[in-house]
Amino acid sequence: MRVDGSPGALVDAADRGLAYAHGVFETIRVWRGKPVYLEEHLLRLVRGCDRLGIRTDGLVERLRRDLDAELGSAGADAVAKIVVTAGPGARGYRYDPAGQLTRIVSILPYVADVDAATSGIAVSCCATRLGLNPALAGIKHLARIEQVLGAGEILPGCVEGLMFDIEDYVVEGTRSNVFAVIEDELTTPRLDRAGVEGIMRERIILQEGATVRRITRAELLGATELLVCNSVFGILAVTRLHVGSDVVTLPFGARTRDIASRIGFPQSA
Amino acid sequence: MRVDGSPGALVDAADRGLAYAHGVFETIRVWRGKPVYLEEHLLRLVRGCDRLGIRTDGLVERLRRDLDAELGSAGADAVAKIVVTAGPGARGYRYDPAGQLTRIVSILPYVADVDAATSGIAVSCCATRLGLNPALAGIKHLARIEQVLGAGEILPGCVEGLMFDIEDYVVEGTRSNVFAVIEDELTTPRLDRAGVEGIMRERIILQEGATVRRITRAELLGATELLVCNSVFGILAVTRLHVGSDVVTLPFGARTRDIASRIGFPQSA
């Protein structure tokens, strides 16, 4: 782990990332020693900083150096995590953009917790609702309490939990985005009020085309294919969806298989 | 500053408070060497932990010891800040409640940035809207990005910014709660969808009685008295309210003066 460019694992206890969640993060798959979709991740990180008022002069160059230094000692298959915060500060919400920010770069083991491409996965529905928050929607910021609560509600045997907003539209998984084939159309939730705009989601929309709109719970349950995706585990077909005590069975559909094969993401180690 | 009971100013860079905002905090006025409303603050902190799934066995006793140790070296008039997080953890939202949590206790200078009891203050309206988030409403959790953005929008000469939700109801100040006298009735916003349930707000409701309901922007602008409160600066009369380029002038009302005098909080150092 590297903090502000030097080997280390400690940060100032008054860091604004800890005090106020004032920062962003990226979680990047490392495959054959290289970070996958690195440019997209860095671009999203900079955009997130811009929305949170964090100055990014020289940031990307520094992060590249941090990553290079850390990757040297990493295995071929791993996960890189980048955290950028508004840095240490005095008490109080008011932020001085001239202040020093904090960079934390670490390489973590890639845990293949899902038997990906072959069999499909089981997913449950979380009880915790995502709030409606247009000012922060889309950003991968550090305020992730809802996802923590959601992750604690995932049923045993399920590898992901779907989260709905307070108006009962499906938004995303706790750590993934979701696509559904609804009336033959590849569809994914609009993320203008809640949710994280995932890199893999963006790739799929750009490459495959998709209808981006609100999706009701009933529409989700009537989908003919369902997949979750993120830029660590790639694309996973959902073949069992737990809704309360009911289980909906879905096929490992042709559409999902085609998308996964065209995206060509390293599905398993 | 004390981290987990020992003098120190550093925390694990993988702390869940930093990674996911998984934690809570309290900011407590210290007056004549004693924390004011300490029991209420500790109770709210424990309630917040409960809602975030953080175990609190023995926590309050440890925090009292931390505070005592830090207060020994503090001045008579100060601010104590307590942060409790879900502690260091592996990557991933899923939380092991058996894990060790993190306690950070610090004593900071009390800055009398407002000429309180005498003249009243100017307040502006923030553009950033608070999201609607029933799962987290009321809790003083670490996810405070909205307040950071709001604080950056406070007009020069104003000491606080009022924040409205996405449906244009007033919720609170960036670092305070708000009470308005509307049609002769002391009224304060409901905080079931957004906002922090402040200790001073609770004291005022319990002692003075108040109608707790949604308050529209129009109602706020028509208020005959307006006050903001928190447990650091106490109660402040708002005598100028900036709304866009307009300024509404309000009296330093009798009601506000009475409430402040009955609450008897140390208004200035």
The domain that holds B161 is classified in CATH as 3.20.10.10
List, for residues A76-134, the tens digit of each pLDDT value.
889 999 999 999 988 899 998 888 999 999 999 988 766 655 689 999 999 999 999 99
CA B248 from chain center: how many Å?
A: 25
Tell me the nearest-neighbour CA distance from A185 into chain B, angstroms.
Answer: 31
Q: What is the DSSP letter of B135?
A: T
Residue A120: inside a domain: yes
Helix (H) or strand (E) holding A147: helix A145-151
Q: Are strands A185-188 and A211-212 parallel, antiparallel or unpaired?
A: parallel
Residue of chain A whose Cα is closest to the Cα of B83: A19
Instruction: Specify whether A141 is located in the same domain as A244.
Output: yes
Range(s) of the domain holding residue B148 = 116-263
Q: Which of A26, A50, A93, A106 to mutate to test the interface with B (most CBs of B within 10 A)?
A: A93
Domain end (from B76, B91, B109): B109
- B32 plus B145 within the same structural domain: no
Question: What pLDDT shows up at residue B268?
Answer: 53
How far apart are the CA of B102 and the nearest CA of chain A, in angstroms?
A: 10
Q: Which ranges in chain B belong to alpha helices (H)?
A: 16-20, 38-51, 59-71, 116-119, 145-151, 199-208, 217-221, 254-263
pLDDT in tens, A177-192: 999 999 999 999 999 9
Pairing of strands B211-212, A23-31: unpaired
Residue A45 is assigned to a structural domain of this protein = yes
pLDDT at residue A73 greater than cutoff 80: no
Interface contact flag, A148 B85, Cβ < 8 Å:
no
CATH number at residue A68: 3.30.470.10
Residue B268 inside a domain? The answer is no
Q: What is the tens place of the pLDDT at every residue in B227-258?
A: 999 999 999 999 999 998 899 999 999 999 99
Which residues in chain A are closer than 8 Å to B95, comparing Cβ atoms? 148, 151-152
Rounded distance between C-alpha atoms, residue B234 and residue B267, angstroms = 6
pLDDT of B113: 63
- State the CB neighbour count (10 A cutoff) for residue B47: 16
Q: Which two tokens mark B184? A: 């002769």
Tell me the shortest Cα–Cα distance from A104 to chain B, in angstroms.
7
Task: Determine the pLDDT at residue A39.
Answer: 98
Burial B230-247 (b: 16+ CB within 10 A, else e): bbbbbbbbbbbbbeeeee
Cβ atoms B187, B255 nearer than 8 A: no
CA–CA separation, A229 and A196 (whole Å): 12
CA-nearest of B86, B193, B212 to B138 is: B193
CB contact under 8 A, B53 and A152: yes
Domain assignment present for A268: no
Give pLDDT, residue A115.
61
Q: Looking at the predicted structure, is the pLDDT value of residue A156 above 60?
A: yes
Q: How many Å apart are CA B240 and CA B158, to the nearest integer?
A: 9
Q: Is residue A16 part of a domain?
A: yes
Q: Are residues A84 and A127 in the same domain?
A: no
Pair (B104, B131) in one structural domain: no
Whether the pLDDT of residue A10 is over 50: the answer is yes
Residue ranges in chain B modelled with pLDDT below 50: 269
Mean pLDDT over each residue of chain A, to the nearest integer: 94
Closest CA to B237 of B212, B257, B218: B257
pLDDT, position B111: 81
Check residue A86 and give its pLDDT.
97
Query: A145 and B8 in contact by Cβ < 8 A?
Result: no
Helices A38-51 + A59-71 axis angle, to 10: 140
Considering the domain architecture, whether residues A30 and A130 belong to the same structural domain is answered as: no
Prediction ipTM score: 0.95
Closest Cα in chain A, distance from residue B108 (Å): 8
CB-closest option in A13, A94, A128 to B151: A94
Chain A positions touching B10 (Cβ under 8 A) are: 10-13
CB-nearest to A147 from B17, B93, B146 is: B93
Q: Does residue A65 belong to any structural domain of this protein?
A: yes
pLDDT in tens, B170-202: 999 999 999 999 999 999 999 999 999 999 999
Of A109, A134, A155, the residue that ends a domain is A109
State both tokens at A160: 């992901």
Structure token pair of residue B182:
């509307």
| Token pair listed for B55 | 């175990």
A54: nearest CA partner in chain B: B149
Return the residue of B nearest to A192 by Cα.
B131
For chain B, give the mean pLDDT.
94
Q: pTM (2 decimals)?
A: 0.96
Instruction: Report phi then psi at A267, rounded to 5.
Output: -75, -40
Same domain for A169 and A39: no
pLDDT value of position A269: 40
How large is the greatest C-alpha to C-alpha distance in chain B, in angstroms? 55
- Whether residues B126 and B51 share a domain: the answer is no
Residues A129 and A229 placed together within one structural domain of the fold: yes
Do B81 and B99 lie in a common domain? yes
Residue B72 has a pLDDT of 84
Do A154 and A236 fall within a single domain? yes
Let me know if residue A269 belongs to a domain.
Answer: no
Contact B8 A13 (CB under 8 A): yes
pLDDT for A116 equals: 55
Helix, strand, or coil (residue B192):
coil
Q: Could you tell me if A159 and A140 are in contact, meaning their C-beta atoms sit under 8 angstroms apart? A: no
Q: Structurally, how many domains does chain B consist of?
A: 2
Q: Under an 8 A CB cutoff, do B108 and A128 touch?
A: no
Cα of B181 to nearest chain A Cα, Å: 28
CA A189 – CA B234 distance, rounded (Å):
44
| CA B140/CA B128 separation, integer angstroms | 19
Q: How far apart are CA A257 and CA B4, in angstroms?
A: 50
CA distance B105 to chain A (A): 10
Residue where a domain terminates, one of A87, A109, A131: A109
Q: Are residues A71 and A121 in the same domain?
A: no
My answer on whether A154 and A242 are in the same domain is yes
From chain B, the residues in CB contact with A11 under 8 A are 10-13, 18
Distances, alpha carbon A216 to alpha carbons A188, A189, A258, B43, B167, in Å: 11, 9, 25, 39, 22
Structure tokens at A172: 């995303």
Q: Yes or no: say if B101 and B85 are a contact pair by the CB < 8 Å rule.
A: yes
Q: How far apart are CA B176 and CA B172, in angstroms?
A: 6
The C-alpha atoms of residue B123 and residue B155 are separated, in whole angstroms, by 8
User: Which residues of chain B lie closer than 8 angstroms to A17, CB-CB?
Assistant: 18
Contacts of B152 in chain A (CB under 8 A): 53, 94-95
**8 Å CB contact of A12 and B15:** no
